[in-house]
Amino acid sequence: MALLEVKNLKTYFHTRAGSVKAVDNVSFKLGKGEVLGLAGESGCGKTTTCLSIMQMIDFPGEIMEGQIIYENAFEVITENPSKSFRDRIFNRNVENKKRTKNLLEFSEAEMRSIRGNHISMVFQGAMNALNPVHRVGNQIQEVLNIHEPELEKDEAWDKVIDILETVGIDSVRARDYPHQLSGGMKQRALIAMALVNNPDIVIADEPVTALDVIVQAQVLKATKELQRKFDLSMIMITHDLSVIAEVCETLAIMYAGKLVEYGDLRTLFKEPFHPYTQALINAFPSIAGPKKDLYDIGGFPPDLRNPPSGCRFHPRCSKAMPICSKKEPSNTPIKNGYVACWLYEEEEKRK
């Protein structure tokens, strides 16, 4: 049973020069305790996908259609009625009527009770993601204050200390301000903030990209341990395949707003199906083993306002066939996942 299921999600940005189809028909599942790596080139819609799940798409973006089914959603409505007076008035009848697991049908107030509580997110660019004028501990405690107002102050603080120690920050640092922490510690503090209220799902957007290797290794190790300890479900966004190789179990590859391949990490790394995934893995330089030469994917990233017809990868694909530019491939099941490529569709469909 999947904990989170994204079905046919479409998120567009309506710009002056036309709609940017940043996320176009993306579907995937995330099971309990699963770590999903979301990889793809810059601008392919990774961050937008996750912001859509959180429903934090700002103007001029809009979620056009799709479903985001969150298994524990019922629990949310009954257990956590909206808090402010105004919200309560506005949501009274909504609550009675709507009992859906689809987050996209939730009101803004209901989404607020999900954010930070059930699904939390660590943003790209940790260096500025903490408010400079509040103590780190207090910023973490804030999550508890919002979502568990009945908790005593001392208890909440104890929890904060607990979680900080779990991510490997000494408890005395809880009273420090962000500028007193180093980059790696800030990143850990952000992870602690995401974890403090025992969320079901943590979305981490490029959590270690800004850090250097030594600190990166430390943070990733801590993350992996925590994930195992709390049996967390995680979505890890990165364009660094080696980071994914280190922590993830499932791999989803995005290309131009579409999910082109999705499946078990080990299988995909050994034997990638989609030509783009193959190219991506080949293009990655490695420090181990003999020196490989640079492998060029060739071509250029597509313009998301007017994406190529058919398979979006066809202008760059070395195995492109005539049909590729005409018709969009559908998802062909593979082991634990699927791939969207004409190479693997059945013969008769191809005609």
Partner 1 sequence: MGLRGYIAKKLFFAAVAFFVAITIVFFLYHVIPGNPANIFATDRTVNPDQRDALLERWGLNEPLWKQYGIFLRNLFQGDLGFSYLQKMPVTDVIGESLPWTLLLLGTSFVLNAVIGIFLGAFVAWRRGSKLDTGFVLTYNFYNAIPLFFVGMLFIALFSFYVRKWGWGFYFPAYGAQTAGSSEWGFFPRLVDILWHLALPLTVLTIAGILGWSWFMRGNLINILTEDYIKTARAKGLNENQVLYKHAFRNAILPVVTNIGMSIGGLIGGAVLIETVFSYPGTGRMLYEALIRHDYPLVQGAFIIISGLTLLGLLIAEIIYGFIDPRIRTE
Partner 2 sequence: MTSSEISDYSSIRLMRMAGFSFLGLAIIFVVLEIIVVFFGELSYLSIITSLLLSLSVVILVLSLRKVALQTPSIRRNVIIASSWLIGYIFLTIISETFFVFLILQVAAFVIGLISMLVRIISFTQLNNTFKRLSKIGYNLDSQIFLLYGWFAVLSTVALIVSVYTLNLTVIIAVVITTVVGEISLLFAVGYKLIQNSNAIKDIFEGVQKRFLDDRPELEDHENIVVEAVNLEKLFPVISGFFESIFSIERIKNTGRATAKYFSSIFSKERTKTIKELTREYFGKVFEEREKLFVHAVDDVSFRIHKRETFGLVGESGCGKSTTGLLLLYLLESTGGKIFFKGLDSSELSVRELKEVRRYIQIIFQNPYESLSPRFSILDIIAEPLRLLNIETDEAKIEEKVKEELESVGLIPAEDFIDRFPHELSGGQRQRVGVARAFILDPEFIVADEPVSMLDVSIRVGVLKIMRQLTLDRGTAFLFITHDLALARVMCDRIAVMYLGRIVEQGPTEELIQKPIHPYAKALIAGVPKPDPDAKRTEELPIIGEVPSGIDVPAGCRFNPRCPFAIDKCKIYDPKLEEVEENHLVACLRYKEINDM
Ligand X SMILES: Nc1ncnc2c1ncn2[C@@H]1O[C@H](COP(=O)(O)OP(=O)(O)OP(=O)(O)O)[C@@H](O)[C@H]1O
Residue 20 within binding range of ligand X, rule CB under 6 A: yes
Indicate whether 22 belongs to the interface with partner 1 (CB under 8 A).
Answer: no
99 vs 55, 68, 116, 134, 255, CA distance in Å? 18, 14, 21, 38, 34
Question: Contacts from 218-226 at CB under 8 Å and sequence distance 24+?
Answer: 218/168, 218/184, 219/184, 219/187, 219/188, 219/191, 220/246, 220/247, 222/167, 222/168, 222/188, 222/191, 223/191, 223/247, 226/166, 226/167, 226/191, 226/195
Taking CB under 8 A as the criterion, the residue among 26, 50, 232, 297 binding partner 2 is 297
Helix axes of 153-166 and 183-195: crossing angle, nearest 10 degrees: 130
By CB under 6 A, what part of segment 288-307 binds ligand X?
Answer: 304
Residue with tokens 């809009």: 62
Exposure b/e, 51-61, CB count within 10 A at least 16 = b: bbbbbebeeeb
Report the partner that residue 121 touches, choosing among partner 2, ligand SF4, partner 1, none (CB closer than 5 to 8 A by kind).
partner 1
Please answer whether residues 175 and 137 qualify as being in contact, where contact means their C-beta atoms are separated by less than 8 angstroms: yes
Binds 47, which of partner 1, Mg ion, partner 2, none (CB < 5 to 8 A, cut-off by type)? Answer: Mg ion
- Residue closer to ligand X (CB basis): 144 or 253: 253
Is 114 near partner 1 (CB under 8 A)? yes
Least distance to partner 1, CB of residue 143, Å? 5
Tokens of residue 118, six digits: 């059930």
Distance in Å, CB of 48 to Mg ion, minimum? 8
User: Whole-angstrom Cα distance, residue 174 to residue 181?
Assistant: 10
CA 276/CA 330 separation, integer angstroms: 16
Residues numbered 130-169 forming contacts with partner 2, rule: CB under 8 A: none
Interface characters, 38-67, with Mg ion (x: CB under 5 A): ---------x--------------------
Residues 41-80 close enough to bind partner 1 by CB under 8 A: 54, 56
DSSP letter (8 states) at residue 82: -
* Contact between 167 and 195 (Cβ < 8 Å): yes
Question: Is 8 a binder of partner 1 (CB under 8 A)?
Answer: no
Interface with ligand X, residue 329, by CB under 6 A: no
Choosing from 8, 131, 180, 182, the residue that interacts with partner 2 (CB under 8 A) is 182
Per-residue tokens: 205: 């957007």
Q: How far is the CB of 6 from Mg ion (least distance, A)?
A: 17
Is residue 132 at the binding interface for partner 1, with CB under 8 A as the rule? yes
Partner from ligand SF4, ligand X, partner 1, none binding residue 22, C-beta < 5-8 Å depending on class: ligand X
Contacting residues toward Mg ion, per CB under 5 A: 47
* Residues forming the site for ligand X (CB under 6 A): 13, 15, 20, 22, 42-48, 60-61, 239, 304
